[in-house]
């Protein structure tokens, strides 16, 4: 099984695209994530959605808008609210995880392997069988 992140941008348009992917692929939807990390003393969030493979395919896509969103428990950003509302609208709930910031890794590939490991261990995405 191949599990791979597909990175979208950090802006409003990218979050709208991520929401549209979740809505139009409800039949493949697996989980949605708000990944919170600290960077330079500030809390930032990534938004992600994992889908089940299509048909007999062994490819599990995980779409992500990475670390471009300010995060606050007291005053959520408009992008996080938009994402949470869309996920709720389709009858699901986003999973919030506190993770390391991608800057702690030498390359983004290692960061994504780290995230996949966390998601597998918590059974949010399927194991490699």
Per-residue pLDDT reduced to its tens digit, 20-41: 999 999 999 999 999 999 999 9
pLDDT in tens, 45-89: 999 999 999 888 889 999 999 998 989 888 889 999 999 999 999
Retrieve residue 42's tokens. Answer: 């500030």
Distance from C-alpha of 3 to C-alpha of 98, rounded to nearest angstrom: 20
Q: What is the DSSP string of 51-99?
A: EPPPTT--EEEEEEEEEEEE--SSS--HHHHHHHHHHHHTT--PEEEE-
What's the pLDDT at 72?
85
pLDDT average, residue stretch 9-23: 94
pLDDT at 38: 95
Residue 18: pLDDT above 90? yes
φ, ψ (nearest 5 deg) of residue 93:
-140, 135
Q: What pLDDT is recorded for position 47?
A: 97
Confidence at 10, pLDDT banded by 50, 70, 90: confident
Q: If you average pLDDT over every residue of the chain, what do you get? A: 94
Q: For position 129, what pLDDT does the model report? A: 64
Whether the predicted pLDDT of 123 surpasses 90: yes
Structural contact between residues 47 and 19, judged by C-beta atoms closer than 8 angstroms: no
Positive or negative torsion for Cα 64, 107, 35, 30:
positive
- Judged against a pLDDT cut of 80, whether residue 128 lies above it is answered with no
Residue 101, pLDDT above cutoff 90:
yes
Give me the numbers of helices (H) and strands (E) for the chain, helices first please. 3, 5
């Amino acid at each position: 099984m191949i599990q791979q992140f597909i990175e979208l941008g950090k802006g409003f348009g990218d979050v709208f695209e991520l929401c549209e992917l979740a809505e139009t692929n409800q039949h493949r939807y697996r989980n949605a994530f708000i990944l919170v990390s600290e960077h330079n003393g500030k809390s930032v969030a990534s938004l992600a959605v994992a889908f089940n493979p299509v048909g007999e395919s062994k490819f599990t896509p995980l779409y992500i808008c990475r670390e471009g969103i300010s995060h606050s428990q007291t005053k959520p950003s408009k992008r996080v609210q938009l994402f949470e509302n869309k996920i709720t609208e389709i009858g699901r709930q986003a999973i919030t995880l506190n993770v390391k910031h991608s800057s702690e890794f030498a390359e983004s590939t290692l960061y994504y392997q780290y995230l996949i490991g966390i998601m597998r261990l918590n059974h949010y995405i399927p194991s490699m069988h």
